[in-house]
A and B are shown apart, each in its own frame.
Chain A
Amino acid sequence: MILRAVHVFALIGLSSVAAAQQPVIGLITKTSTNPFFVKMREGAEAAAKTSGARLISGSGKNDGDNVGQVTALENMIAAGAKVILITPNDSKAIVPSISKARAKGILVIALDSPTDPVNASDALFATDNYRAGTLIGRYARAALGAKVARIATIDLFPGHPVGAQRHNGFLKGFGLRAPEAAVNTLGTASDVVCMADSYGDQTRGQTAMENCLQKNPDINVVYTINEPSAAGAYKALKAKGKEKSVILVSVDGGCQGVRDVASGAIAATAQQYPVKMAELGVAAGMAFIRTGKKPSGYTDTGVSLIAATKVRGVESKDVTTGIELCFGRK
């Protein structure tokens, strides 16, 4: 009986020693339910497992929840995390907490969204959202051919860097004069006949598209900030019988979005790679833990154009590849 107790205690002792030797990496996402972040977490867990690290994850409660992320950060510091990967909900408000962590010698890497200022985190691994916009802008221009463009942009909401980068990148790719990537305001152009905000959701995307169609029924190109708003825009176009005569483009590359490309609802989408962000983050974290070497600057985690129909002069991947690489329910 006593022998068995000693045996059990020895096992517990051994496993906690083993756990203590296992480095801890923390991952804090914006929310825990958005399929983009679910995929990121899965990628991070897999990468951590193969590298021999322990991953602890946390998140904000919803998009924009800074306090939840601050709490998660503090908990991870207490849990002994040496590296923290974070997709900030609020690029400015999270900075003091990140500075505290870095002052303790913890490596903090921003994934997907930058901190403001960018160098408040040790490094940034993210999609080049300007480039994502440029790809779909070039596709739309080529697909439209010689016709006169009448563009509607279904945007996020005012002041958000990702919303501005995708929008302005789209204008640039389309061949219009556009603000540079660092600008946070939306560029305008004479070919853009309507700009409306969707807040990234499907219902408001539908409302925005309906109102734009009322303003100008001859819209033939629609840029959307993400695939849910594109789905809403498509519903509005279909209600007016315009779904075949309008080129609808979007960003994200989620599985539902790629299915919409396959069905013809969306002409092309720029796919981004949350798993790549997680893998690079874990790899950089392990390098820091083993050698003390810190990553720095911005690393582009890649974006590809997914389209059902190829157009001349614009490289794109097909829908099958898109489905292989997508995030969400396949």
Chain B
Amino acid sequence: MRARLLGTLGPLLALIAACLFFAMRSDRFLTADNLSIVLQQVMVVGVIAIGQTLVILTAGVDLSCGMVMSLGGIVMTKLAVEQQVPVAVAIAAGIAATALFGAINGLLVTHLRLPPFIVTLGTLNIAFAITQLYSNAQTVTDVPAGLTTLGNAFQLGGSSVVYGALIMLALYAVAAFALSQTAAGRHVYAVGNNPEGARLTGIATQRVLLGVYLLAGVCYGLAALLSVARTGVGDPNAGQAENLEAITAVVVGGTSLFGGRGFVLSSLVGALIVGVFRNGLTLMGVSSVYQMLVSGVLVILAVATDQFSRRLAQRGGGET
């Protein structure tokens, strides 16, 4: 139990420590306005990380997340702008496109039994190519207001909060509930922990895996909507940074890359850590090279902590 707590509380403590550090170095950091900006900046990666967490919990990884998100954004905006498709339908089409990619990932993993790393490496390239071709490498502008409403803000206690950030928090709440309180959620952990054992206890592992990748695809579609809302355009080059950043968020948050353990809320902590460092270092006037350095160090620390706590648990006698 102590081992698991270490894995979960560690990142939260790191986030708090980072915030205190930056608050000391810049009096502009700990303002409601600044914190609300950081929340906005992590909302896209945050939602992608929900899907990525699901995949990583099954001991997989989805390298295509950012590119699939970008495709979703292009589908939504091109349909709405060029085909004058009603906004709700355009959004549904974008999410359908990303869900389709999720399903393809899932089918290749379950039926062809290809390693998720390889499968999603392939779909990463396919999604990128389709996005570039479909969009002609042009950003889609003059996007109708309906697609960007989630980028609008409302006043809350002296600062403005973007609706999209609330959507992200709501999605985290739903995911956390589903993973911890439903049978399907328990099955995800079981499959990640011990796929053969799960199968022997009657869990339909193939269906669980397929469901996980499909749901991840839906998350990427929702993230695409938030991305369009935030930037106000459909950008075929969006998502390239988010690709690795989402995996970083999940790992730094404490979810184990080896599957079977972790909490989805930790990925929010991980995403916030990355955002806080980027914001704080800019406020301090420090070059972005150091953000990369910090990010790399955090990832290694997180994985090392996970390994350490696993070994602690094994020595403790059986609880993993």
Contact = CB atoms under 8 A, between A and B. Distances in A.
Nearest to B290: A158
A202 B138 contact: no
A256 B136 CA distance: 13
Interface stretch (B6-14, B57-65, B235-243, B301-309): B235-243
B288 A203 contact: no
Contact of A211 (B230, B238, B278): B278
Interface in B266-293: 278-279, 282-283, 285, 287-289
B138 A201 contact: no
Main secondary structure of the interface of A (DSSP, over half): helix
A38 B135 CA distance: 14
A33 interface: yes
B241 A211 contact: no
Contacts of A194: 282, 285
Nearest to B235: A202
B138 to A, nearest CB: 5
Contacts of A231: 139, 233
Interface in A22-67: 33-35, 38, 61-62
B206 to A, nearest CB: 33
Nearest to A35: B137
Interface string A291-322: 00000000000000000000000000000000
Interface in B179-228: 227
A185 B26 CA distance: 26
A157 interface: yes
B288 A228 contact: no
Given A207-B278, A231-B233, A235-B232, A201 B240 contact: yes
B182 to A, nearest CB: 34
Contacts, number: 83
A201 B241 contact: yes
Nearest to B287: A158
Contacts of A235: 231-232
B238 A214 contact: no
B37 A202 contact: no
Interface residues of A, number: 33
B285 A202 contact: no
B4 interface: no
B28 interface: yes
Interface residues of B, number: 37
Contact of B289 (A158, A215, A228): A158
Contacts of A211: 37, 278-279, 282-283
Contacts of B289: 158
Contact of B282 (A34, A206, A212): A212
Given A157-B288, A203-B227, A215 B283 contact: yes
A21 to B, nearest CB: 35
Interface string B238-278: 10110000000000000000000000000000000000001
A280 interface: no
Contacts of A214: 28, 33-34, 37, 279, 282-283
B137 A34 contact: yes
Interface string A169-195: 000000000000000000000000011
B137 A38 contact: yes
Contact of A215 (B28, B128, B153): B28
B81 to A, nearest CB: 13
A202 B236 CA distance: 10
A210 B162 CA distance: 14
B295 interface: no
14 contacts: A38-B137, A157-B288, A158-B287, A199-B241, A202-B238, A203-B230, A212-B282, A214-B37, A215-B28, A215-B285, A232-B231, A235-B232, A256-B138, A256-B139
Cβ-closest 4 pairs across A and B: A33-B137, A211-B282, A197-B288, A33-B132
Interface of B: 26, 28, 33-34, 37, 40-41, 44, 125, 128, 132-133, 136-139, 141, 153, 227, 230-233, 235-238, 240-241, 278-279, 282-283, 285, 287-289
